[in-house]
Amino acid sequence: GESVGLHLPTLSVQEGDNSIINCAYSNSASDYFIWYKQESGKGPQFIIDIRSNMDKRQGQRVTVLLNKTVKHLSLQIAATQPGDSAVYFCAENRDTGRRALTFGSGTRLQVQP
């Protein structure tokens, strides 16, 4: 069925290293993808988005890559910091007239000092 999912439930990295969080989607009709960060006890926070007509988009210390051939999305965080520790969700929005995001189950990023 249609789904947005993640490869790794927990990712542990050393401070200063780069982090890569992966996400797979199964609906080829998906045309818009978003990454959210959720810190403990808080609501998710928008990080970066990408449309299906793009392969790569960069923000501040973050890069999102989209591979439509294998329906794969990734979030790269450069020089990971302790403040990056959180759960990261990918989400998709299909332009079917319903503007509700479908979220994946999340990956927990743990940054070791």
Partner 1 sequence: GAGVSQSPSNKVTEKGKDVELRCDPISGHTALYWYRQSLGQGLEFLIYFQGNSAPDKSGLPSDRFSAERTGGSVSTLTIQRTQQEDSAVYLCASSPSAQRAGELFFGEGSRLTVL
If the CB atoms of residues 47 and 77 are measured against partner 1, the closer one turns out to be 47
The residue among 77 and 91 lying less far from partner 1, judged by its C-beta, is 91
Q: Which is nearer to partner 1, 43 or 113 (CB)?
A: 43
Residue written as tokens 């000092």? 113
Residue 1 in the binding site for partner 1 (CB under 8 A): no
Does residue 82 sit in helix, strand or coil?
helix
Residue 28 lies near partner 1 (rule: CB under 8 A): no
CA dist list (Å): 111 to 5, 15, 46, 101: 22, 6, 20, 28
Using CB under 8 A as the binding rule, the residues of this chain from 71 to 100 that contact partner 1 are 89, 91, 93, 98-100
Task: Name which position in 34, 77, 86, 109 contacts partner 1 (CB under 8 A).
Answer: 34
- Single out the residue of 109, 105, 41, 102 nearest to residue 75, CA to CA: 109
Q: Is 58 in the site for partner 1 (CB under 8 A)?
A: no
25-61: b or e for each residue (b if 16 or more CB lie within 10 Å)?
Answer: beeeebebbbbbbbeeeeebeebbbbeeeeeeeeeee
The site that binds partner 1 (CB under 8 A) totals a number of residues, namely: 21
Contact residues: partner 1, CB under 8 A: 32, 34, 41-46, 49, 89, 91, 93, 98-106
